[in-house]
Amino acid sequence: MNIRLRAVRLILLIIGVISLAVAIYIDQFEFVKELLSKFLDQELAGYPF
């Protein structure tokens, strides 16, 4: 159990840190801010445009 626990934690840490580092490097956070600032119709299935 202990090995499994540590292995899963390590996998989550590696995925999280690498994704975060690359996201910062390619400035994806600014894209998120931009996305939240504009009208998004992706979630509006059924909306009578």
- Which residues of the chain form contacts with other proteins (CB under 8 A)? 4-5, 8-9, 12-13, 15-17, 19-20, 22-23, 26, 28-33, 35-37, 39-48
Least Å from the CB of residue 20 to other proteins: 4
Q: How far apart are CA 7 and CA 24, in angstroms?
A: 26
Least distance CB 14 / other proteins (angstroms): 9
How near is the Cβ of 24 to other proteins at its closest, in Å?
Answer: 9
In whole angstroms, what is the distance from residue 30 CA to residue 23 CA?
Answer: 10
> Tokens 């996998």 correspond to what residue?
11
